Structure 1
Amino acid sequence: MIPRARHLVAAALSSALLLLPAFTGVASAARDSKVFAVTLARTAADVKRVADYWKPEQLKNADSYSPATPGAAATPAPSSTPDSSTPATQVTSPVTRATAAQPVAPTPPRKGSAATTMGKVFFRFGDKTYWCSASAVAAKNRSVVATAGHCAYDPRQAKAAEYWIFVPNPGPNGETPHGIYVGASISMHEDWTGKGDYDFDYAFVTVHRGFKWTAKDGGYVMEDVGRLQDNVGGQGIELNKKPGTYMVAAFGYPAGAQPDGSHPYDGKSLKMCKQGPTRWTSAVSLDLQKGVQLLSCDFSPGASGGAWLIGYNEDRGLGSLNGVNSLTWNRDAKDRYDAVSSPYFDTTAGEVYRRAAALTTPANVT
């Protein structure tokens, strides 16, 4: 992870966000490919340790943390840095394709008709704290968050993010109106964790029941607020949509500098790139062979992991997830970014999602 981007200009793709060493490997997933799972916080005690790190005083500083961008490994943590909630357990499980390609319908929250699924994820790599954009996705366990792979796992360090939480609809001063949700397990494709292949720069994170901090006796106590989807709703999923055949809206919390050094966004409010057409794109240096690009979008770092939605209904706040912000592009090498891209969400992405949606978490974490 690096806090700033360098630009590259290549004949094949005009310009891209970052100059990174090339990865090796084949971008398209074979039928015997695997889902790579990393356990973050398994028990209520693990959740409590993560929660204690994110006390209200810490969240008040949230906007001062670095918006995450794909890049080099973070600085190694000093010995004084606390351990993560629990050692990450890495497991591979066979990918099953029987139902993976089926669409998932968007779901409103239990109370009210308007969803508030968009939010930020906060986490640490080494001695530095980062944040990204993310969204809640409809799932049978009512507890799944979609974001970019680089917002959950750093393949250069072969290490999962620490102290990972999701805050839907965060306030500008650390407010958490719909609760805080601690990550339980990350589901990714093995080609992201093993190769840093940007064709698989996505992650579906299963989260624990949410909580909010309540003042008591001069301190704070955790108060259970229930499951994520019950509180904010969940976006649907549409897979295997050929670029150029649909319109998509992209969402996120951009904050980083534009190529000219300006900061038109501050990361404190949700932004949307209006619905537009998509097309295929590639970047050899990132092993990206099957990316999907949305033009006329000037998102900067901080928007990583934000949802791409088909058929977005502004009144309901719902649509169908068809990608996540992965890379920002400066195709004309001018002052502003002018496009954003996502990995192609095909059946393989559906397999990763299904694994995250099938996990269970403890009934109570407070």
Structure 2
Amino acid sequence: MTPSLPLLAVTALVAGLLGAPSPEVPPLGDVVEHVAGHASGIYWTPQRMARAVPVGLLGGTPPVLPPVVGAALPPAARSALAPGHAAQPAARTGTTQTTRTTRTTGTGRTRQAAAMPPVTTSGTRWAAGGSVTRTTGRVFLTLNGVDFSCSASAVRSANRDLVVTAGHCVKDGAGAWAENWTFVPGYDEGRQPYGGFPARRMFVAGPWSRSGNDDYDVGMVAVDDLDGQHLTDAVGGQPIGFAPPRGRRTYGFGFPADPPYDGERLLYCAGVPHGDPQGQTRDQGLRCDLTAGASGGPWLSGFDPASGRGTLTSVSSFKYSNDHRTMYGPYFGNAVRDLYRTAERA
């Protein structure tokens, strides 16, 4: 495991015990699957959602925790799971810590420029509408008895039910799988225009499941339909891409819930990502001030602000504690491709 914090924090035998696909259709590559317990329809009340703790982005010295919370979690992950801890992250131990308009007149050009969102920003509310406001949403989950929130995106898939988020928003590394996992697309200031879609099957890459390796901090969840309607039939889905060129302009979206944010609105960062200067991961870093709760939010390249569409090429994963201005996201290579190909047929 790389010594960075995830934002939450094995083999084929364990995958089988947890409900892997039948032997006739084995998983592609090193993929671990879990059959999700269904979230109660009344579990995620507005009050519970408001109290959910945003998953932290930084590691540090683990605080004193009740045994049930700390059980089976590595020290870095324990520090992130403490309720309220993410709002005041400690230094990570053992690292150096890290609408389109027709142009007619000069006045028209000024108005158009003012209406378009910035193409470079470290944190701005997304007010341009488009597909991204429907496909991006909040995730609510319970891990080791604590209710948390993350961010995620609906993606195009064969089953029309697939959500992509961070691995730590699905499984705590080598520890527990999330329970009560529900995706709320289009969330906005408490409004849930499409309702909540509960998980039915969860997937992570083997290296994440065995050791919380940050290079593989990606989770995919096949959700139940809602009132007979598949997720992407209701909200659409962003396409997903693999082995993308590095250093392409990227827009990262999410629902940060630590101050100065409250998790109620969709925000974004945009810029050109770079490699990990710490050399600890193969991830790319994006200048981004979004805080805890943005974990798992989609990174879209080739993004069109007018339509709100792009290609999903990473998700928000972690920050180094000596660099709160940079968000890191895993590179979508062959392992993530195999994860997707397995999850989309669930």
TM-score (norm 2): 0.69
With over 3 angstroms needed to count, the CA separation of the structure-2 counterparts of 1:171 and 1:77, relative to structure 1, is farther
Match of 2:327 among 335, 340, 351: 340
How far 1:19 sits from its partner (Å)?
9.7
1:76·1:126 contact (CA, 8 Å) conserved in 2? Answer: no
Alignment partner of 1:313 is 2:268: no
Aligned to 1:35: 31
Task: Kindly provide the amino acid, as one letter, of the partner of residue 314 in structure 1.
Answer: P
Greater percentage in strand? 1
Write the distance in 2 (CA, Å) between the matches of 1:327 and 1:313.
Answer: 25
**How far did 1:132 drift?**
0.1
1:270-308 CA distances to partner (integer Å, 9 max, x unpaired)? 00102x111211657xxx42111112x111111100000
- Structure 2 unaligned blocks of 5 or more: 10-27, 70-129
How far apart, in 2, do the equivalents of 1:342 and 1:194 lie?
Answer: 19
Shift of the alpha carbon at 1:135?
Answer: 0.6
Tell me how far 1:247 sits from its aligned partner. 0.7
Cα distance change, pair 330–243 in 1 and its aligned pair in 2 (3 A): farther
Q: Which residue of 1 aligns with 2:155?
A: 137
Partner Cα separation in structure 2 for residue 208 and residue 305 of structure 1: 20
2:317 match: 326
Q: Secondary structure at the match of 2:187?
A: coil
CA distance in 2, matches of 1:300, 1:344: 21
1:194-226, Cα deviation, whole Å (9 max, x unpaired): 01100000111111102xxxxxxxxxxxxx151
**Is the 1:75–1:128 Cα contact (8 Å) retained in structure 2?**
no
Unaligned runs of 5+ in 1: 1-15, 23-31, 42-46, 79-112, 211-223, 257-262, 360-366
Q: Is 1:253 equivalent to 2:255 in the alignment?
A: yes
Distance 1:33 1:354, change over 3 A: closer
> CA–CA distance in 1 between the matches of 2:6 and 2:30?
28
Q: Which residue of 2 aligns with 1:176?
A: 192
The normalised TM-score by structure 1 is 0.65
User: Which amino acid in structure 2 is aligned with residue 197 of structure 1?
Assistant: N
Q: Secondary structure at 1:358's aligned position in 2?
A: coil
Cα 1:282/1:208, change in 2 over 3 Å? farther
- Cα drift, residue 18 of structure 1: 4.8
Match of 1:208 in 2: 224
Between structures 1 and 2, the one with greater helix share: 2
Contact between 2:207 and 2:213, CA under 8 Å: does it hold in 1?
yes
Contact 1:249–1:312 (8 Å) recurs in 2: yes
Q: Report sequence identity in percent.
A: 32
Residues 253 and 298 in structure 2, CA contact (< 8 A), matched pair in contact too: yes
Q: Distance in 2 between matches of 1:283 and 1:193?
A: 23
| Structure 2 match to 1:241 | 244
SS of aligned partner of 1:178: coil
Return the match for 2:184 from 167, 171, 177.
Answer: 167
Q: What residue number does 1:147 align with?
A: 165
**What does residue range 42-81 of structure 1 map to in structure 2 within 5 Å?**
47=38, 50-54=40-44, 58-69=45-56, 75=66, 77=68
- Distance across 2 between alignment mates of 1:184 and 1:75: 29
